[in-house]
Structure formats: C-alpha cells, structure tokens
Amino acid sequence: MKRGALRSGEKGRVLVAHTLRTENALERMRGLLARRPLEDDEALWIEPCPSVHTLGMRYAIDVVFIDHDGRVRKVVEALKPFRFAACRGARTTVELAAGVAGRLGIEPGMVLAWQEGKP
C-alpha cells in the first residue's frame, strides 16, 4: 500500500495525515479485514470501490464515498460489523475510525483528495 494524506480539496488542508491507499485487487478485497481498528489520524483510501462490507470486522467504521471528480457523494457514519454500504456513482471509498468523518466535517458536496508521501 502507498502512504499519503487525505486532504480537503486538491491542495487543501490535511484532514488525515496517515492515509494508506490500496494498489491492487488483493489489497482492495482485504481492506481493514483482520487489521486493528483505525486510529483517529488514520484512513484507508480504496479505489475503485463503490461499495464496502464489514463482514468479519469487530468494530464500526465511517465510510466516505467519493465520485470521479473527488466530490463526496455519501457519508455512512459508524457502519457496524456485518453490514454493507454502497453509493451509486462512487469511484472511491475512504474508511475512517467511527466518528471521525463527523469530527472532520466531511459531508456530501465537499471535495477530497489523496496526496502521496508525507504531508
């Protein structure tokens, strides 16, 4: 996985300094399965990914669905274990610790971007 940061807008402020980005189908399929819960300053960027599940997970997560233009289409807060979520038109999914999306003010219409390397 690549390391980078989640930013608001293309050159905006850093929202999550430690963001991993999947690079292949195997990493996308694994996602957060069999991993420790994310910390508040961590995220997982999965692309392409218009839907997620939390089957086999032991903790809830926030899920942010982003379209081709980087615009947030939908935010699912505290998706519990053994649930599904999807968004028509989404290209990317960002997974965060439960409650983080709200604290960061992430909402539909906002533009998010991933930046490779250290912020």
- Owning domain of residue 58: 2-116
**Tens place of pLDDT per residue across the chain (119 aa):** 899 999 998 668 999 999 999 988 877 877 777 678 899 999 999 999 999 999 888 999 999 999 999 999 999 999 999 999 999 999 999 999 999 999 999 999 999 999 998 76
CB neighbours of residue 73 within 10 Å: 18
- Length of the chain (residues): 119
What gap in Å lies between CA 90 and CA 104, rounded to an integer?
A: 20
CATH for 86: 2.60.120.1140
pTM, 2 dp: 0.93
Q: What phi, psi does 61 have (nearest 5°)? A: -140, 160
What gap in Å lies between CA 45 and CA 21, rounded to an integer?
A: 5
* Count of the separate structural domains present in the chain: 1
DSSP-assigned letters across all residues of 12-71: --EEEEEEEE--SHHHHHHTTTTSPPPPTTEEEEESS-SEEE-TT-SS-EEEEEE-TTSB
Which uninterrupted H or E stretch holds 101? helix 100-104
